[in-house]
Chains A and B, each alone.
Chain A
């Protein structure tokens, strides 16, 4: 079963390489690739882990976070990305601001990709350990070697087509799992009853795991330890907008679309399946913790005495799927790990080679030279990922760690983009020092605060005294992102006002809102216009929020 999956993937890979280069990609394919690039292992494993750890409040990542952000990127930001003809996010920063802003972003982005791929690597190694009974350290090595081979075989040129395939694989591989799990616990009402036990055991109101908004009046009333303001601003605004609007990995998918309209519709089309994704990735986690609490021993217990939430999906797969379908589920999972990791490592070597090495270290070398550097960067990227993978063993929920990395990188970057795209007075110096301030603010905040019960170090509080304790890792991440965003926003404005503009209005045409001609959608049928789609998406996600209030 596994073999067939792999053989077919290989076939798809080699044949696409031919057909894809330089062609325009229809909006629906770009749209599916757009969410698939994000539907990696971290998402599948991490969202289920969070579903178990925090309950249905995890859905805020979708209905409060992703939906408005994807609508925003489609309606307002895509015209600049697509219109500027930049090939990467750092390149846009160079066009809009200056060389050093691009350099700083390239470096932080490179670090972030290493962390992301390290997290995938950890998750895959854990899975191999669980399913095949391998040693964890050996699994890490094997994973690293497989990814190396995968990349050197040139498997990523057709990344986008693979991602569409992978999207269907994940949906069709996990759906039977969710259906069986739901049937087993007795539907939604049965799940609610089981989760009430989970909630009361943890000292919360019975509905704390099954109501997304009701218990957000104070941080002490819900498992995530958030109140509504911090959640809406930290997650909804700083983190989600930061991720969906500035993360090269996802934005690149839309940049590859065939026309401006297709590029704008890409995130909007992606938003439709994204909206329903919680049923597929969060629900299994909630089912797992429900079973764990009422039947016991469903999730393995980690070193810190708490259940290892990351194991929710693998355990569910092993529990419900018989051989045959189990192969499909595991193939789906492995495929998402592999492409997630390979995507990050490739993004790392691209940014390193073109945006850092070629620009700063040794410009003007031959192509062969840069190719060798690219290969070396791949090896280095994988080694660095191994280090990050070991860091990930310290977190019982990989989504906590991932959002921490995002809060450092994407949080401040979104402030830079917002000002860069909508305020023509913002300058290169402003953007550079703003970004720097934002990242430093994040580090300071992280260094001075800690989640409750953690020891100072990798989980925060490394600057000695913890001034504030947050109830959960996720709460800490949201606030870090919000602080980083604010730090960057203020510093960019102040420094911009103190420095002179270096780019004329003419140079900024197509890069800044006020200097770009408005797009006219009037000629399209009303139901095809991006605005119509956007409104429909926002209405439906509001309804979903109300249903699970």
Chain B
């Protein structure tokens, strides 16, 4: 691969941020969720971000595998 797949850093970043948010949502004081209408948004949105990040990483991985296959078949 001569070009960094942009999905890799994006996926990585959102997966990490999502995981941190989930952890924060689990351990944080529940009083801070008064402003977000009593919903633990850190926890829930953390899951959304984590899922988004993982999908991005998976897409990048798939593209990488595909590129590797075509690359190895084209070179003798």
Q: Nearest chain A CB to B55's CB is how many angstroms away?
A: 12
Binary contact readout A10-21 vs B (1 if CB under 8 angstroms, 0 otherwise): 011001101110
Most buried by A among B2, B10, B48: B10
Quick one: given A15-B9, A165-B10, are A321 and B36 in contact (CB under 8 Å)?
yes
Binary contact readout A318-335 vs B (1 if CB under 8 angstroms, 0 otherwise): 011111110010000000
Top 3 A-B residue pairs of the complex, sorted by shortest distance between their CB atoms: A324-B42, A19-B4, A322-B32
* Cα(A29)–Cα(B16), bound, Å: 22
Which chain B residues have a beta carbon within 8 Å of chain A's beta carbons?
2-4, 6, 9-10, 12-14, 16-17, 20-21, 24-25, 28, 32-33, 35-37, 39, 41-42, 45, 48-49, 52
Q: Nearest chain A CB to B30's CB is how many angstroms away?
A: 10
- What residue of chain B has the Cβ atom nearest to residue A7's Cβ? B13
A322 x B49 contact (CB < 8 A): no
- Contact-size category for A: 20 to 34
Quick one: given A165-B10, A324-B28, are A4 and B16 in contact (CB under 8 Å)?
yes
The answer to whether A518 has its CB under 8 Å from any CB of chain B is: no
Which chain A residues have a beta carbon within 8 Å of chain B's beta carbons?
1, 4-5, 8, 11-12, 15-16, 18-20, 23, 29, 161, 164-165, 168, 172, 176, 180, 183-184, 319-325, 328
B6 x A325 contact (CB < 8 A): no
Q: List 13 A–B pairs whose Cβ atoms lie within 8 Å, in order of A's numbering.
A: A4-B17, A12-B9, A12-B13, A15-B4, A19-B3, A23-B2, A184-B37, A320-B36, A323-B32, A324-B32, A324-B41, A324-B42, A328-B21
Taking a contact as CB atoms closer than 8 A, the residue among B2, B9, B25, B39 that contacts A324 in the complex is B25
**B-chain residues with CB within 8 Å of residue A23 when the two chains form the complex:** 2-3
* Cα(A180)–Cα(B45), bound, Å: 12
A325 x B45 contact (CB < 8 A): yes
A325 x B20 contact (CB < 8 A): no
Taking a contact as CB atoms closer than 8 A, the residue among A20, A172, A320, A321 that contacts B48 in the complex is A172
- What residue of chain A has the Cβ atom nearest to residue B48's Cβ? A172
**A-chain residues with CB within 8 Å of residue B28 when the two chains form the complex:** 322-324
Taking a contact as CB atoms closer than 8 A, the residue among B9, B16, B39, B52 that contacts A165 in the complex is B9
B14 x A164 contact (CB < 8 A): no
* Cα(A319)–Cα(B12), bound, Å: 29
A168 x B10 contact (CB < 8 A): yes
Taking a contact as CB atoms closer than 8 A, the residue among A4, A183, A321 that contacts B35 in the complex is A321
B41 x A322 contact (CB < 8 A): yes
Taking a contact as CB atoms closer than 8 A, the residue among A1, A164, A319 that contacts B10 in the complex is A164
Q: Nearest chain A CB to B63's CB is how many angstroms away?
A: 10
* Cα(A27)–Cα(B63), bound, Å: 16
* Cα(A474)–Cα(B20), bound, Å: 43
B6 x A1 contact (CB < 8 A): no
A19 x B2 contact (CB < 8 A): yes
Taking a contact as CB atoms closer than 8 A, the residue among A183, A323, A328 that contacts B17 in the complex is A328
**B-chain residues with CB within 8 Å of residue A324 when the two chains form the complex:** 21, 24-25, 28, 32, 41-42
**B-chain residues with CB within 8 Å of residue A180 when the two chains form the complex:** 36-37, 39, 41
18 new A-B contacts at CB < 8 Å, known A20-B4, A328-B21: A1-B20, A5-B17, A8-B9, A8-B12, A12-B13, A23-B2, A23-B3, A165-B9, A168-B52, A172-B14, A172-B48, A180-B37, A322-B33, A322-B35, A322-B42, A324-B32, A325-B21, A325-B36
Most buried by B among A1, A16, A168: A168
**B-chain residues with CB within 8 Å of residue A165 when the two chains form the complex:** 6, 9-10, 13
B41 x A325 contact (CB < 8 A): yes
* Cα(A176)–Cα(B52), bound, Å: 14
* Cα(A321)–Cα(B44), bound, Å: 13
**A-chain residues with CB within 8 Å of residue B41 when the two chains form the complex:** 176, 180, 321-322, 324-325
Most buried by B among A8, A12, A176, A324: A324
* Cα(A8)–Cα(B25), bound, Å: 22
* Cα(A4)–Cα(B20), bound, Å: 10
**A-chain residues with CB within 8 Å of residue B16 when the two chains form the complex:** 4, 8
A168 x B14 contact (CB < 8 A): yes
Q: Nearest chain B CB to A270's CB is how many angstroms away?
A: 16
* Cα(A161)–Cα(B20), bound, Å: 24
Q: Nearest chain B CB to A29's CB is how many angstroms away?
A: 6
Q: Nearest chain B CB to A119's CB is how many angstroms away?
A: 28
- What residue of chain A has the Cβ atom nearest to residue B9's Cβ? A12
Q: Nearest chain B CB to A9's CB is how many angstroms away?
A: 8
* Cα(A341)–Cα(B6), bound, Å: 23
Q: Nearest chain A CB to B37's CB is how many angstroms away?
A: 6
**B-chain residues with CB within 8 Å of residue A319 when the two chains form the complex:** 35
**A-chain residues with CB within 8 Å of residue B3 when the two chains form the complex:** 19-20, 23
* Cα(A541)–Cα(B3), bound, Å: 35
A11 x B9 contact (CB < 8 A): yes
A29 x B6 contact (CB < 8 A): yes
* Cα(A4)–Cα(B24), bound, Å: 14
* Cα(A481)–Cα(B21), bound, Å: 46
